[in-house]
Amino acid sequence: MVQLLLAACLLALAALSGGCSSGSGSAVVVLGPWTGPEGAAFESVLRELSRGSGHRYVYKGTRSLRETLVAQLAADAPPDVAILNSIGELTEYAIQNKLEPLDPSTAERAYPPWSPTLKVDGRRRTYWVPLKVDLKSLMWSRAGSSDADPRWCVGMAAQATSGWPGTDWVEDILLHQAGPAVYTRWATGRLDWATSPEVRRAFTTWARLLKTGGPSDTERALTMSFWGTPDPRHPDGDPRGLLGGSLPGCTHEHQASFVRFVYASRGDVRVEPAARYLSGSAAYKNTFEVSGDMAAVLTDNPGAQELVQRLTSESGREQWTRAARPHLRPFFPDRTDPQPDDNATAREIASYLVDDANTLCFDASDVMPPVLRDAFYRAVLEYVRSPYAATLDKLLAQLETVRTRIAGTQEPAGVRLQGDIC
């Protein structure tokens, strides 16, 4: 055990370039998911916010966010602030008393469905708040391509969470076919995976779509990154994206609004709501799935609470918008916040998010407890390789076993949330 803690502490040291403590004085350590151009944009925001604050903000971005944070928590060396996109993970940390409740002034910016309050030890409090958000129910396509016979771009690989582009498909299909009420029951652990016709139909609809329009090379879909391949012409290695030539011949991609910066310089890529492609109900055409990057405080460093308050304030979001390059300006959760307007695509996405949506529902797999979410990731990878009824029967039974095992040991994470995810 001592060796494990020492190894975790050394990992934390290497990751944060600091000591095995949250720091003292003016240092506030932030761990987040953004690297490359996105990470540089966020660091520029922190530099702006540090002016006159009396604090020095130290940021470390990593694509292996969960693994890094788990190691730091094991070493009792957490960052002061962590930025996560999983409500399921955040819920676990709050129940384990790893999170500090947010100051009331910050909790006011905890908009639903990104930040439902949490009931821990009989007390209802807010433990995280969205910094930036993304719209997930979107289709990107090459201008001039036929919508009657889309050739789907599918890249399922990611560093630590391969499979999530597939779960996004299944979630979006289920939301638009079955509606927010069924979607909420499923995401919060109250729907049987093995016997639910809605869950089965979502999987089979996805398989039918990919069979008729997807890349014929299944192995390529499983091993291709959702980012595509790096563009050798770009000085900082920006990816070219699946529509940018990584998968020749594909015309349509189901991806969230964050992919906008990949296609910002291309004039031949368009975006639209995903609903009409998903065999859904007309009643849910203006229902959108969303995700978010939420900030939580993990230490009693007063500078951590202050930083989260600054980042989520109106002035902080205006500074973020000014500091980021145009195609990296974030979307924010409230219509009063500044939204990207650097090009027509950004303005269109912002209009869907704050004007056209009748209902917003948080990403289902990010609500699930991590063990169930990870099993869901693995299941979609296996289903892509073998999209047959017998395979689906086996996978849904396995997922239901995981769900019932969690329910037998503790209340499912979503049930503890005070407020809907839609």
Structure tokens that stand for 233 in this block: 């012409």
Closest CA to 164 of 301, 276, 65, 295: 65
In this predicted structure, what is the pLDDT of residue 342?
A: 84
In this predicted structure, what is the pLDDT of residue 10?
A: 39
Distance CA 364, CA 349 (A): 21
In this predicted structure, what is the pLDDT of residue 172?
A: 98
Averaged pLDDT, groups of 10, the chain, 422 residues long: 41 41 67 88 89 90 91 95 95 91 92 85 88 96 86 86 93 98 94 97 94 70 82 59 82 93 83 94 95 96 94 91 87 92 90 90 95 96 93 98 84 54 91
Q: At what angle do helices 164-178 and 197-213 cross, to 10 degrees?
A: 120
In this predicted structure, what is the pLDDT of residue 159?
A: 72
Q: Give me the architecture of the 2-134+292-353 domain, per CATH.
A: 3-Layer(aba) Sandwich (3.40)
In this predicted structure, what is the pLDDT of residue 198?
A: 98
Domain ranges in the chain are 2-134+292-353
In this predicted structure, what is the pLDDT of residue 410?
A: 58
In this predicted structure, what is the pLDDT of residue 356?
A: 87
Which CA distances in Å does 177 have to 202, 205, 214?
Answer: 8, 10, 21
In this predicted structure, what is the pLDDT of residue 416?
A: 57
In this predicted structure, what is the pLDDT of residue 199?
A: 98
